[in-house]
Structures are given as structure tokens and as C-alpha cells.
Amino acid sequence: MTALTNLLDLDPAQLVSYCGELGEKPFRAKQLQRWIHQFGASDFNAMTDLAKSLRDKLATRAMIAAPATISDHISSDGTRKWLLDVGQGNAIETVFIPEENRGTLCISTQAGCAVNCRFCSTGKQGFSRNLTVGEIIGQLWMAEFELRKTKGIEPGPKGERQITNVVMMGMGEPLLNFEPTVMALKMMLDDNAYGLSRRRVTLSTSGVVPMIDKLSQECAVALAVSLHASNDQLRDGLVPLNKKYPLNELMAACKRYLDYAPRDFVTFEYCMLDGVNDTDVHAHELVALVQNGVSVVPCKFNLIPFNPFPASGLTRSNNGRIKAFAQILMDAGIVTTIRKTRGDDIDAACGQLAGEVQDRTHVQERMQKMAEYREKFGRDFGRIVEISA
């Protein structure tokens, strides 16, 4: 039996080709796209302006299927988090953050994450696999029409849009799942689908330098970089990817990206960790990093109060320290905001998305072994790790 084609996996060009394979003209692809992404339709019989013969073909050869919802929680502040089943024991998380003038959806691009940033609970569970295009865009498809249903808003292009902004800041490193992520981005921007502005779609990366350059050529949306440290030595420990792409290379890539970006600045995300990266010295180092002569990087800093989780061994900087840190950046003329923590009562805040993954990287086993070594060798543990590396 031939497997059904999930139409959520097809970008506009692929949908035209698919219709051609069915013996249909290209305009049918646009009709299909509108039914799927503007009306939220999953039943081909409901697509009333399609010929009956086409609907019959689609019913036997295609489907429209987003990841199934395992759980759906709403925070006291209105933040909503879905746990979604992506098969083979893997689950991802998607979060909607309502604000007065916009609604932001935080989307996952991988089941788990292999980058393993020290302060992120997603990385501590390891990595299973990349998500497909349909699993990425399916989060937006599911959330938009579920939110409309909750509010009693009719689907369709004239219905009040609930999701005005999308951030690729959920589980995973988007640039390590490049092609599916870019295909999903292009659907978000397409006028026959969601019609979002490039300024309202943000991709967050931990700093995969070659892919930042590639993104600038293929689909330049707003860019956010998970920085979290002011020097290479500190960042090597917090964001292991820095060992491959150090700060000077990352800053150069950010500057190159701005030639193509819809915004004239890069957002640097900076998680505030008590006694680790939050001193005045660190703040002044950041100023020097982004205002260094010819390599000035126009930017905005978003300071993120750390959301603790047991395995991290880290604590949140106090409010006074965060404000003092921000003031140093602002005194240097850098736009700086302190992120308001949202959805932490349902573990939907920044750095808390964990889901459930079948870990291909065996990170939990490695962490357990390291804990056992630490207990056995005590003070000599650091020297043993250094020698083994």
C-alpha cells in the first residue's frame, strides 16, 4: 500500500509539482495551500472550490497531519504550552505567548538538541532527530487554528490572526536542521499561507557560522544569537559550539548577515547566571565585543533571568545584579531589555522546554558516568577529565 503524502511537508513549489503529478494545473496548488494554511482544513471534502475528481484523488493519496497533541496546558499568565507527539517515543514542545499587541509562537525544530548548552534543560536530555517540514510548520498550523477555535473565531484569511510573530527558539538548533527549517520559514512568509513579515519571524541560533551565512542567502529573517558569555573561555564552558566557532568568527558572521536581514540589528540573548557571567567586568567585555572598531555589530541585548532546573547546578542572578548589568550596556548606547519570565508555572519559560526524546547522543548516560567519577575521584576529577580529553 502506497504511503499517503503529508501536504504539510510540501512547500509552494513542491505543491505545484505534486499537483502536476496528479494531472492538475498549477493554480490548484495555490487553492490547496489556502485551504490548508489559511482555513486550517484537513478534510479534502471541505475544499469546495476544488473539482470533485481532484478531491477524490487527494482522499486516497494525501493527508494533512500535524503532530498529535499529548497535552495542552495554560499558564496563569495566559501562556499556552502543547506537548506534541512526533513518533517513536519522541515528543516536542510548542509555546504560545500572548501579549497586548501581538501573539508569539515559539517553535521547535529538533526532537532534543545536540548542542548541550549548560543552562538549557533541552540539551540535558540529549538529541534524537531532526523534525520534518510538516512537523515544524505543523506546529504553527495546529496552534493558529486551535487558538482560533478556543476564541470562537472562524478560520479563513479574514479571521483575526492569533499568531503574529514566530520565533524559532523552541527545542533544537534550527541551523543544524537547515533545509526543513528554511522550507518551513518560506511557508510562513508566503502570502498564500501565513503571510508573515520577515521582521516578525526570528530564528535563534547558538552560532553555527557557515549556516548563518547560508541563511542570509536563502531566507533572511530576523536573527537572534544565543551569546551568554563575553569571552571565549567562558563561552566554551556554557555553549560548547563556541569551541568550533569562536566569538570573533561569530561576530563577523553577524555583521555579514545584517546586509541581508529585515532588521538593522542582531538580537543577542544572554542568560543571567549568578556568579558565572553577570559581573560588571563581563558587561564591559560585552561592550568591547560588539563595539570593537571596524567590527562593530549593531545589536540589541535581551537579558534573560535564568530558569533553574536541577541538573544545571546554576542559579539565577538577582534582580539588582541584572539591572546593574543592563545599565552598563545601556550607558554604552546599546539597546537592552530584560525579558519578563512567562509560563514558568507550566515549565514553558526560556530554557525549560524539555519534551521527551529517545536520546541518540546518550547524554544522560554520560552525565551519570561523570557524576560517578566525580564522587569517586573528588578533587582529582577535573584533572582526569582534562587528561582524557
Residue 254 falls in the annotated catalytic set: no
Query: Which one from 106, 120, 299, 350 is the annotated catalytic residue?
Result: 350
Helix ranges (DSSP H) in the chain: 12-21, 27-37, 52-61, 121-124, 133-151, 178-189, 209-218, 232-238, 247-257, 280-290, 319-331, 363-377, 381-388
What is the rounded CA–CA span in Å between residue 367 and residue 365? Answer: 5
> For the packed helices 133-151 and 178-189, what is the interaxial angle rounded to 10 degrees?
40
Which is nearest to 54 in space by CA: 87, 19, 88?
Answer: 19
Query: Which one from 24, 93, 173, 356 is the annotated catalytic residue?
Result: 93
At a CB cut-off of 8 Å and minimum separation 6, what does 357 contact?
89, 90, 91, 111, 112, 125, 126, 127, 128
Element (H or E) spanning 130, and its range? Answer: strand 127-130
Q: C-alpha grid cell for residue 201?
A: 519571524
Residue 144 falls in the annotated catalytic set: no
Torsion sign over Cα 371, 372, 376, 381:
negative
**What is the set of active-site residues?**
93, 350
